[in-house]
Amino acid sequence: MTVIYFTDGALIDDVCIRRSLLRIPEVITELKKTGSEFVNIDLFLAMNEQSVYSLLNFHQQKHLKKVIQSALYQRWLKNKIEPDLIIKRTDYHRMDDLISVFQRLSTIDALNIVTIGPGYDDIESLLRLKLKVCTSPLKDFISADPHLNWFWKDLRTQLHLHS
């Protein structure tokens, strides 16, 4: 069973992550398509400069994260693997509800969880520590993509990410 899990996108707040995401053609395409939705903000500057990103209000930052995650998902779909289930962190207001879903999923033998983050959020530790799921069914999309992992590995080590 293939599960797509959209994280909360918190790593997108990091300027180094945003700059690296600009290396992905699908992200550039989505930013160009949605740029007019952000009044008086150049999204490419917001991706490159923390001071410009900080000018975005909470809702604009949240929308930008959705745009970026949508672009990453569009790239994942090019693998021609149809997900059996899509879970979005933002759809769960209570962490207990999300934990309940993953508890049920953890009983499946052929479980493959692909995170659209970038990176992970606290679900990784939940799966490994609380639910005793080995990390092999959990894959970060960017790390798993052979055309993207070349820059992601270096970025992870620089930022000391667990993803």
Q: How confident is the model at residue 163, as a pLDDT?
A: 40
Closest CA to 18 of 135, 109, 52: 52
Note the pTM of the prediction, 2 decimals.
0.88
Binned at pLDDT 50, 70 and 90, residue 134 comes out as low
Query: What are 91-131's pLDDT values in tens digits?
Result: 999 988 998 898 888 888 888 889 998 888 887 777 777 76
Burial of 116 (C-beta count, 10 Å sphere; 0-12/13-18/19+): buried
Q: What is the mean pLDDT of residues 32-43?
A: 93
| Residues in the chain, overall count | 163
Q: What is the mean pLDDT of residues 133-152?
A: 74
Q: How confident is the model at residue 161, as a pLDDT?
A: 47
Omega into 25 within 30° of 0, i.e. cis? no
Q: What is the mean pLDDT of residues 6-17?
A: 93
Domain boundaries in the chain? 2-159
DSSP state of 50: H
Torsion angle defined by CA atoms of residues 80, 78, 143 and 156, in that order, rounded to the nearest 10 degrees: -150
Closest CA to 18 of 158, 142, 118, 141: 118
Instruction: Determine the Cα–Cα distance for residues 50 and 9; give it in Å rounded to an integer.
Output: 16
